[in-house]
Chains A and B, each alone.
Chain A
Amino acid sequence: MNTPERSAAFILDDDQEKIEYAADTKVSNAGTFTFNKEDHTVGNLLRMQLLRDPTVKFAGYKHPHPLVHKILLKIQTTSSQRLPTEALSAAIEDLSNETDHLITQVTEAIDKWKKENDTGMLGM
């Protein structure tokens, strides 16, 4: 009766921002991003991409609880010339380009397979 709506896992609550940012008060060049209604899919993807960036000193994420639909992503950069937000933007852009590349790769690979294995499926 008091179970939360399943859709609360992916639809933003009223007046909820998708991403919130809080600069770290104790560590320089660091801050925590809160991604509302996201999970390991995006969290781990962003963390691994950020770790490939030489201007990023630290990147880590956590999903606080299975029923709390958000992830916290902490980023620390190597210098004050590089904001955590800039590093995040760059990571998202790289991943977006990688996905574009994958779409082309998959489409080409499937077409190639179908040409080589003419199973009559092409007309379907």
Chain B
Amino acid sequence: MPQQRFPKVEVLSVAPHFISFILSETDTSMANAIRRIMIAEVPTLAIDLVEYHENSSVLNDEYIAHRLGLIPIRFTPEGSMRRVPGGDCHQAFLPHRECVCYDRCPRCSVEFELDVNFDRVNQTRPEQERDLPLTVTSTDLKSNNPLVAPAHFLNEEEQDESHDEGISIVKLGPGQHLKLKAFARMGISKEHAKWCPVAVATYRFWPIITINAEACGMLTMEQKQELVDACPDRILELDEATGNLVPAENAYEMATFTEDLKTTQEAMKKRPEDEDFVSVVQSTDRFVFSVESTGAMDAEDILLSSLRVLKDRLNYLASEVENGLK
């Protein structure tokens, strides 16, 4: 007989770089699996191999290669209205280890060219910037695939506001020249953190705040205020009209489950065995997730992609159990 659960999802906010949602009616093992997959197993692109033609900058080849690797590379699926669950790069690229090509090909890698010569650029710069150090940034990387580019602000408006000039790679001075070819491949951050699509992926437990109205009736206003102040995370409020303690509306964003409230109210009790005035416990089946993207993917796609990865993994395990064992 199946023991399947039917979890619920409620979205709190969505932005290109951020998503926050409530996952409920499942347990920590599912919440944690989703979190772990978003951090370590969602495939993205990252620069993995660099060929130097000239490097007379102050940084050595390895140092620059490392910096290039850490630049989030964004893949935009064709047709901007795409709504494929987990619309990540796995449908467009092959893992390089599985590709049949000898070294690399467009199926498994994306090529970037970078060629910045201080002396050449210097001639075209405005008078007041002439001879100042020149910063080579991620915008100098020219991709050979129109769907792939170094991550940038997600819309033009934001970009105009920020005067963003890309991610700094190295600064060049007079006479210095950096010319290279970089190859991005698909990978997961179990291999290297540069493939990690998230800056933050966490969940917190939903707080269950129970206020014992009867017991609270015995407290003076000063004592109630003391309870409110006892919480460093401000999850309680004093209703001015009724004089009752109430949970703060956004308590779930703040609850840190410290012991402060407990010790304060223990001291207020007439007898130690008296009932608690207020109790705050962690829910075991309701989680508040926050996911922030590095820019390599939209946050909502990271979430959908993690579920796709989980689904594929379970199907794989199921077929292995069916056919592999006996």
Contact = CB atoms under 8 A, between A and B. Distances in A.
26 contacts: A10-B190, A18-B324, A21-B325, A39-B36, A42-B33, A45-B29, A48-B27, A48-B30, A49-B3, A85-B325, A89-B318, A89-B322, A92-B317, A93-B2, A94-B5, A96-B318, A98-B26, A101-B6, A103-B304, A105-B9, A106-B307, A108-B9, A110-B11, A110-B19, A117-B13, A124-B16
A48 B29 contact: yes
A42 B7 contact: no
A14 B262 CA distance: 56
Contacts of A96: 311, 314-315, 318
Interface of B is mostly: mixed
B3 A53 contact: yes
A93 B29 contact: no
Interface string B77-94: 000100101000000000
B4 A94 contact: yes
Contacts of A9: 190-191
Contact of A102 (B7, B36, B316): B7
- Chain B interface: which size bin? 35 or more
A97 B4 contact: yes
Interface in B1-44: 2-11, 13-16, 19, 21, 26-30, 32-33, 36-37, 40-41
Contacts of B300: 110
Interface in A37-77: 39-42, 44-45, 47-49, 52-53
Contacts of B190: 6, 9-10
A107 interface: yes
A96 to B, nearest CB: 4
Contacts of A102: 7, 9, 30, 307
Contacts of B121: none
- Chain A interface: which size bin? 35 or more
A117 to B, nearest CB: 8
A94 B21 contact: no
B324 A19 contact: yes
Interface string B246-277: 00000000000000000000000000000000
Contact of A10 (B83, B188, B310, B325): B188
Interface of B: 2-11, 13-16, 19, 21, 26-30, 32-33, 36-37, 40-41, 80, 83, 85, 97, 154-155, 188, 190-192, 300, 303-304, 307-308, 310-311, 313-318, 320-322, 324-325
Nearest to A31: B325
Nearest to B5: A98
A34 to B, nearest CB: 11
Nearest to A93: B318
Contact of B192 (A6, A44, A93): A6
Contacts of B4: 94, 97-98, 101
Those 6 A-B pairs whose CB atoms lie nearest each other, nearest first: A48-B29, A113-B11, A105-B9, A96-B314, A94-B4, A52-B3
The residue among A41, A52, A85, A112 with the most chain B CB atoms within 10 A of its own CB is: A41
Contact of B303 (A10, A40, A95, A106): A106
Contacts of B13: 113, 117
